[in-house]
Structure 1
Amino acid sequence: MSREQLMPEPKSLIENDENHKLTINEESLQILTNMKEPVVVVAIVGKYRTGKSYLMNNLAGYKKGFSLGSTIQSKTKGIWMWCVPHPTKPGHNLVLLDTEGLGDVEKGDSKNDAWIFCLAVLLSSNFVFNSVGTIDQQAMEQLQYVSELTKRIRAKSSQMKDADESTAFKRVFPSFTWCIRDFSLELEFDGKQITEDEYLMISLKCKPENSDDDIKNKQAKEFNLPRVCLMKYFHSHKCFVFERPANSKKLKCLEDLEDGDLDEDFVKQTKEFSNYVFKNGSVKTLSDGVVVTGRMLGNLAVSYLKAIQSGSVPCMENAVLALAEIENAGAVNDAITKYEAEMNEHVKTFPTDTQKEFFCFHEECEKNALGVFMERRFNDKDQRHQRKLKEKLDNAKEHFSRMNEKSSEDFCKDLLKTLGRTLENNISASSYSMPGGHKLFLEEKLRIMEAYNTAPGKGLKALEVQQGFLIGLKEVETAILSADNLLTDKEKEIAAKQAEKEAAEKEKQIVEENARKLVESLEEQRKSHEQHIAKLMEKMEEERKKMKEENDRLIAMKNEEIQNLKMIGYGKRIEELQREVMLLKQRKPTSCVIN
């Protein structure tokens, strides 16, 4: 799908009105709702008028899109969204979120800024912080909202230990990238050249908090807090520095400039940033490695926004539970829709010759429906939704079974009506009410039965409809037999007994046929149950592997963080991380229990 087909231009996702009330834009929500592909979500946050939108337009592959503006006023209000096909991940979409600038003097509402910041963290898989100059204390103060994340976001509905909370946040929080604009310093430390990432790590080094001076300790804690939170809650850390793109006069029309009009280093740095995001940008996932689609992202946005609007603290666990309910209910509906669509194609071939043929149709359609359900299903505690699906599939099977039987019944009745037209006319004309009439009646009845028995395509109700037809002739035959003067009383008695014998044999055939159908039905139920269990086991194994991969990924991230911390001397935090790694290595991937 092209950008024009997906989303030709950015649209507001979270609107921020003049009263600082945050609401969802329904049109943008519908765009996400229609998006079934996994998403890589990049959100950018920073002080207003620092060039955030320019970077996002570059990620979209266009000069224009998000409004850049050229005055001191902030152009972006709330959170704007632009969805484009991912340039390097086929089957994925890139969702770009450009946020309202922090610290807008016209707004003067830090609480509103904090919620914008939190939503950007909650919705993204890659979080970009954009600032100007250097990483100094002033820049850190712009990141004050990082220190407030745990006050404004809960990982679990229950209380957690600090280490557990850190791990829970790290599982679902985005990566962290710091983009420093108009950077003019040499990347050098202690007389040695350093990388951008090393510059970030050095800038995040904490001050000691073991002074005897309470004031100094307090100052150190305030200094350290945003740094500790950045290291503790975001799973990876990257830094890019950018030269000034052009002189002040050109900056006013930045979106109209070609690369040749911009600083050569700035163009190179911008491309490096974009390529890094394309190559290393994380797909949005939930805990245990559940991949988020655009539809799921939209539902998460609604869930978090409702919590904020109600005055409560957004809880990631509750949001995931609510999302699971929506997705699993949707999975059931999708599966039933798939089953019914495929079975309706088979209706054209009804009636089936045998019950087994019908069950073969059902089994194939049920298998495909289960595949649809399992693809969307997640976190289905106690298989509640799968059991609901089984119930709906059984009901749907019964509906189509009745359709198949009704088709057979109608076909057989029409066939007998056609074959019995001569017999019916003769009865109406009293043609059999004469000496020798019973023999003629029997000959015509036998002709009808032979033609009926050899006719194809009668289906499952052939015997029962035939029996009904014969029962309908019983009184007529008795009257004809009684009126036939050519027959002796003994012959009439023998003929009556023969008719009763034939009726009994036909009844026996029907009973045997129904018993066979019951055995086949029970066998089909067993196979259906086994198919559901097999699909569930397959899904559970897939989930177990994802959980192990997620656990291994978290261990790798914590080990990487330990190495980074060793470089900047976070002794206490290193010990905490090493304990967390040990606990993660002991963690056994589990999944739901089959009921």
Structure 2
Amino acid sequence: MIAYNNTENTFALFRSGNIDSDTHFHGVVKAVMALMESPVCLIENTNGKLQVDQDAISFLMGLSQPVVVVAVVGLYRTGKSYLMNKLAGKKNGFALGATIQSKTKGIWMWALPHPTKAGHALVLLDTEGLGDVEKGDQTNDAWIFSLAILLSSTLVYNSRGTIDNQALENLQYVTELTERIKVKSSSGASAEEIEDGADAQFVQFFPSFVWAVRDFTLELEIDGRKVTEDQYLEHALSLRKGKDRKTLNYNLPRECIRNYFPSRRCFVFVTPASPENMPRLESMDERDLNPSFLDVTSSFCRYIFEESSVKTVKGGLPVTGRMLGLLAKTYVETIAKGDVPCLENAVLAMAQIENEAAVRDGLGVYQDGMKDLSFPMGIDEISKQHRHWDSLATKAFMSRSFKDEDGKYLKDLAEAITKHYSDLLTENEEASERYCRQLLMDLSAPMAVKLQQGFYAKPGGYELYCGDHDNIVAQFRSQPNKGVKAEEVLEQFLKEKSVESNSILQADNKLTDQEKKIHEEKQRTAMLEQEKRNETERLQQAEKMLKDQEECHQETMCQLQAKKEQEAAEAKREMERALESKLQEQQQLMAKGFREKEEAMREEIQTLREMEQARQREQMEQQQKVLQRLTETLSSVAKSYIGYKMAREERKLVEHQARLERNRLKQSGQLAGGTVEGRNPDRGSSSGAKQGGSSWQGGPKASTQQQGGHKQTSSSQSSAETGKAGNPHHDGSAV
């Protein structure tokens, strides 16, 4: 079993916005990989059947950093594991073995922090030796070789002696790659089209190639002239002119290496120790090893560390440890079914899994960020928090998602966030309503006692009642942090109080009938004003929410545009690398007079260029469609919760304004007959009042409550209201 480190604390920091995604990934991988002190089996090979090791896959699934993957292949018992241990900086780890039996079975993995690339992981893959006489299964060897190519960003081929024709014939597996690896799915393309384009496309996705020649005893000379190790390799890969079968067979492995691996390097190692000391190479002190061997080993490691690139898949997309695990699982399962691994299908399958996880990550960031809000709160504050966490959620999604071609998963995230935000808005409204009702009950409790005692049942009682009534409204308005339902609850309170207000008014013998009528009309006008104030505030809230949602949408579009540009740049770099290698190969063929092969290479280059032009056109068209579709979708999602509210509030506001105007006209006609000093316009009238006793009786003091995991408190905001009864915008944070 592999030991795993708990990464929840680091992930929580990322979700809080205190650290960015790079810091998060760096922290996770250092914590996890520190526990991988020795190699583990990644792909088991039992009786010729390949299967992934679930513990190793689980480990990779927790590794979110980009990975540089170095795989070593070669004949069995040629010292492959020693090179891997040197790259790991360890004397032992991968089994060396001191007999003629092969020690490594399947593919073993060792994941370590990259020694020179901060924020990256170095994944070493040691493969089972090819040509093991005990196994005697060339098909199984071919799959091991193919998997090493599919999973690595640098492939090290390890051999002994010299690079001669026999050494190249031992590398026969490279000539079978078109039978073992498909770039594109067969759907939508003919077999001829797929085969014709395979050679041209392999160069885009294959790893860089390093030939490590062990126990080299010759001089690096060609025709009496000293050459470098790389020149030695290129000379060994030189082609012969001719069309006879012998020449074609001679050229085939060389052409495959030249065509498939654009970046080629060679390192020539002398024998590290005397023959009698070779069995104990693992335990020998470096001082006892051949200095020339140590020098080349140092150069080899330095090249791997500095020049080996991050593993990428089609489109130039960098591969993380998690994605590497998905690729390994997909490829091995495909082989087990008897099918040929397809790069395109593997990437699409990986994209679906990663994009679904990206939606969960983004939603988790949003939910974690919004869970500690204290309700009730004003629309400005909750909207501000929503914009902040929506942006971070989108960023988290973008950091993990890829090949979301039609924007489906981004749309899923937007819908999930909007639904959660809608639920929070409902919770906030309910909390505000509960708080305001309790506050009005507490403020009106002394007035209720006076009513029970008959305090207002006397001449001039209406005057006293109005004073207490106005005081309640003033105190309510001056109370801060009431939330978004303050005006609506106040309107309900005034309507319910209008019954007792009208009863006291009619019973007050101090007032004449004409004065009572004037008071009634003024109260009716005041109620309409309150209704208008309530509806205006609600409409402003809806407009504010819609504006904020549009800003969130624009932020999402900016992030999406940046991601698309990044993906396009990666794909362009990938194609440029392929074209550059093909051009170099073409120049070499021209220089050596291979006119037919040079012409074939020219056609390959033209094919690559046409493919790139078609890809760019398709990408541009698709990007425009995706952006347009997402713009429509996200706008629709944003308006789905808010639009119906705005339409309703607008209709209500128009109706209230018409009623208010009619009432003013009616009142102005009555006021012509006399004038009476007006009261606070927030007092209720009998218009629209419920019959019966008021439900606003004194009760327990408003207290902090817990609802839906969110705190509800009267001190959730720092801003205070002005308390001016005539100012409908007194509470800038609420209504």
In which range does the TM-score fall when normalised by the shorter chain?
A: over 0.9
Shift of 1:44: 0.5
Q: Give me the whole-angstrom Cα distance separating, in 1, the residues matched to 2:441 and 2:87.
A: 73
Match of 2:208 in 1: 175
Match of 2:376 in 1: 351
Match of 1:309 in 2: 336
Contact 2:241 2:594 (8 Å CA) reproduced: no
Asked if 1:5 corresponds to 2:31, the answer is no
Q: Give me the whole-angstrom Cα distance separating, in 2, the residues matched to 1:428 and 1:64.
A: 92
Match of 1:99 in 2: 127
Asked if 1:256 corresponds to 2:289, the answer is no
Equivalent residue for 1:191, pick from 203, 208, 224: 224
Letter in 2 for 1:249: E
Match of 1:150 in 2: 178
Q: TM-score, normalised by structure 2?
A: 0.75
Shift of 1:358: 2.8
Q: What are the ranges of 5 or more consecutive residues in structure 1 without an aligned counterpart?
A: 212-216
Change (3 A) 1:154 1:428: farther
Q: Give me the whole-angstrom Cα distance separating, in 1, the residues matched to 2:484 and 2:507.
A: 37
Letter in 2 for 1:122: L
Q: Give me the whole-angstrom Cα distance separating, in 2, the residues matched to 1:579 and 1:138.
A: 31
Match of 1:547 in 2: 571
Alignment of 1:193-232 (within 5 A): 193-211=226-244, 217=245, 219-232=246-259
Contact 2:96 2:103 (8 Å CA) reproduced: yes
Match of 2:15 in 1: none
Match of 2:479 in 1: 455
Match of 2:63 in 1: 35
Match of 2:12 in 1: none
Equivalent residue for 1:63, pick from 82, 91, 114: 91
Match of 1:214 in 2: none
Match of 2:264 in 1: 237
Match of 1:272 in 2: 299
Q: Give me the whole-angstrom Cα distance separating, in 2, the residues matched to 1:398 and 1:244.
A: 71
Q: Which range is displaced more, 330-339 or 446-455?
A: 330-339
Match of 2:599 in 1: 575
Contact 1:29 1:298 (8 Å CA) reproduced: yes
Q: Give me the whole-angstrom Cα distance separating, in 1, the residues matched to 2:521 and 2:354.
A: 65
The one-character-per-residue Cα deviations of 1:11-51 (angstroms, maximum 9, x if unpaired) are 1111122x322221122112211111111100001111111
Q: Which range is displaced more, 567-576 or 460-469?
A: 567-576
Higher relative contact order (CA 8 A, sep 6+): 2
Shift of 1:156: 0.3
Q: Which range is displaced more, 390-399 or 271-280?
A: 390-399
Amino-acid identity (%): 43
Q: Give me the whole-angstrom Cα distance separating, in 1, the residues matched to 2:578 and 2:446.
A: 83
Asked if 1:52 corresponds to 2:80, the answer is yes
Contact 2:200 2:607 (8 Å CA) reproduced: no
The one-character-per-residue Cα deviations of 1:36-94 (angstroms, maximum 9, x if unpaired) are 11111000011111111100010011111111111222211111100111111111110
Alignment of 1:126-525 (within 5 A): 126-158=154-186, 159=191, 160=193, 162=195, 164-211=197-244, 217=245, 219-345=246-372, 347-348=373-374, 350-353=375-378, 355-429=379-453, 431-432=455-456, 436-484=460-508, 487-525=511-549
Change (3 A) 1:495 1:89: same
Change (3 A) 1:573 1:404: farther
Contact 2:358 2:401 (8 Å CA) reproduced: yes
Contact 2:184 2:194 (8 Å CA) reproduced: no
The one-character-per-residue Cα deviations of 1:384-423 (angstroms, maximum 9, x if unpaired) are 2222222222222222322332332233223223212212
Letter in 2 for 1:531: E
Instruction: Count residues with an aligned counterpart.
Output: 585
Contact 1:3 1:85 (8 Å CA) reproduced: no
Q: Give me the whole-angstrom Cα distance separating, in 1, the residues matched to 2:289 and 2:590.
A: 39
Shift of 1:539: 1.9
The one-character-per-residue Cα deviations of 1:469-493 (angstroms, maximum 9, x if unpaired) are 2233233434444555555554544
Contact 2:331 2:346 (8 Å CA) reproduced: yes
Q: Give me the whole-angstrom Cα distance separating, in 1, the residues matched to 2:597 and 2:300.
A: 29
Q: Give me the whole-angstrom Cα distance separating, in 1, the residues matched to 2:526 and 2:91.
A: 88
Q: TM-score, normalised by structure 1?
A: 0.92
Q: Which range is displaced more, 521-530 or 183-192?
A: 521-530
Helix, strand or coil for the counterpart of 2:96? coil
RMSD, aligned α-carbons: 2.3
Change (3 A) 1:126 1:502: same
Shift of 1:148: 1.4
Helix, strand or coil for the counterpart of 1:12? strand
Q: Which range is displaced more, 155-164 or 451-460?
A: 155-164
